[in-house]
């Protein structure tokens, strides 16, 4: 992978930052506010206090280090294109998968590549958004 100047990081990348080679990341990384929502929800998905504390630490780190890109009117319009591509691929953008497509819509609306650890999850929108596996 050639070094990119900017990219949006999928939640899967954010949670694995400690094991990803930094040379695979662009000079300027941002995250979708949807990623912050996923990380915040993750705090409440566990009952183990040690794991919850670790997740809280990740959330606080991410909030302090990365600029978050909002799911705004532009992203909402882009979601229409993403939704159409997902449906054309015979999928339903529902449940947890819908969150992935909100993140992809955010990347599309900003013209940013999307770095992910789960590129197969974004195969149906690869014609709209540059999907980069790290």
Indicate whether 3 pLDDT > 70: no
pLDDT of residue 104: 98
Beta pairing partners, 115: 9, 132
pLDDT digits (tens, 9 = 90+) for 41-97: 999 999 999 999 999 999 999 999 999 999 999 999 999 999 999 999 998 877 678
Pairing of strands 67-69, 6-9: unpaired
Identify the pLDDT of residue 93: 74
- Among the listed residues 31, 106, 107, 114, the one whose alpha carbon sits nearest the alpha carbon of residue 76: 106
Per-residue pLDDT, averaged over 95-108, amounts to 91
Those residues with Cβ within 8 angstroms of residue 131's Cβ, 6 or more apart along the chain or in another chain: 113, 114, 116, 119, 122, 123, 125
Segment 105-113 shows an average pLDDT of 98
Question: Dihedral angle at the C-alpha atoms of 89, 71, 40, 5, nearest 10 degrees?
Answer: 80
Round the CA-based radius of gyration of the chain to a whole number and report it.
15
What are the structural domains of the chain?
Answer: 6-129 (3.40.50.1010)
Helices 33-44, 49-65: inter-axial angle, 10-degree rounding: 170
pLDDT digits (tens, 9 = 90+) for 12-39: 999 999 999 999 999 999 999 999 999 9
């Amino acid at each position: 992978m050639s070094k990119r100047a900017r990219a949006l990081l999928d939640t899967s990348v954010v949670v694995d930052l400690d094991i990803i080679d930094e040379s695979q990341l662009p000079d300027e990384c941002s995250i979708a506010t949807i990623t912050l929502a996923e990380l915040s929800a993750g705090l409440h998905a566990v009952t183990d206090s040690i794991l919850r504390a670790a997740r809280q630490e990740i959330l606080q780190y991410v909030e302090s280090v990365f600029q978050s890109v909002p799911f705004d009117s532009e992203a909402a319009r882009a979601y229409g294109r993403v939704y159409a591509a997902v449906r054309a691929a015979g999928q339903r953008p529902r449940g947890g998968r819908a969150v992935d497509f909100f993140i992809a819509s955010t990347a599309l609306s900003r013209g940013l590549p999307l770095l992910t650890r789960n590129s197969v999850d974004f195969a149906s929108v690869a014609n709209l958004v540059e999907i980069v596996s790290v």
